[in-house]
Amino acid sequence: MAELKEKRILVVGGASGIGLAIVERFLASRNSVAIMDINEEALLRFSTLDYWQDRVIAMKGDVRESADINDILTRMKKNWGGIDGLIYSAGIFPDRRIVEMSEEDWDNVLNINLKGAFLVCQAVARQMVEQKEGGHIVTISSGSYQSARVGSGHYCASKAGLVMLTKVLALELADHSIFVNSIAPGLVHSEKLGGEYIDTFSSRIPLGRPAQPEEIASIIELIMSPSNTYLTGQIIPVDGGLSSGHFGLP
């Protein structure tokens, strides 16, 4: 049974996949959850949840826009008085080899996966410091922060950067009792990643299958629970044992 109760949580990139599972998990545990995502259509699912309305803020926003980030934080402050936790799950993962990559391809991935994380984490950290109530920040990185894959030069670089952003933030915010960690999933069966790709790679995972998004969400709830009083600055692989093997062999 989760211990986290009635916290004010912001999930950035929460309209689908892992982020959506996190939103559902935290709502089920009776927290208030704000969702910012660029996908307006996917956000519509939250407007039908009548009985959750006072505990949900769903806003179209782009992590590359400081005005959007300030907007969602202002709404959380107005409705709920502030913020206790952030999960940064926004990310894109297009495939392109470096020799074929345009400057725009590179910038797109770095701007959403890394610069967006900086902008969001900075704004949230400033507010948490001002509140003086501590808090939790969790970024969703990837096993790709340390394992290279053909076609994902921009993605791997963005996730390696995100991991260092997470660690530095943890050091800088420790004095304020703000815990900052990153979850590094391996393969997750989400809306954008399924079918053949999953079938091909499942055999390399010691547990023999990809994670369900809910399995990532449950670990995050654990990290953000009041029972976590000492874990900060860590990159936690939730990958079915994938990163423990040698050459991807279970």
Active site residues: 155
Nearer to ligand NAD, 68 or 84 (CB): 68
Nearer to ligand NAD, 81 or 194 (CB): 194
Tokens of 99: 């020799």
Nearer to ligand NAD, 135 or 186 (CB): 186
Asked if residues 17 and 41 have their Cβ atoms less than 8 Å apart, the reply is: no
Nearer to ligand NAD, 129 or 236 (CB): 236
Asked if residues 232 and 174 have their Cβ atoms less than 8 Å apart, the reply is: yes
CB neighbour list of residue 114: distance below 8 Å, 6 or more residues apart? 158, 161, 162, 165
**Which residues are at the interface with ligand NAD (CB under 6 A)?**
13, 15-19, 37-39, 42, 62-64, 89-93, 112, 116, 140, 142, 185, 187-188, 190-193
Nearer to ligand NAD, 182 or 232 (CB): 182
Longest dimension (CA), the chain: 51
Distance CA 123, CA 8 (A): 15
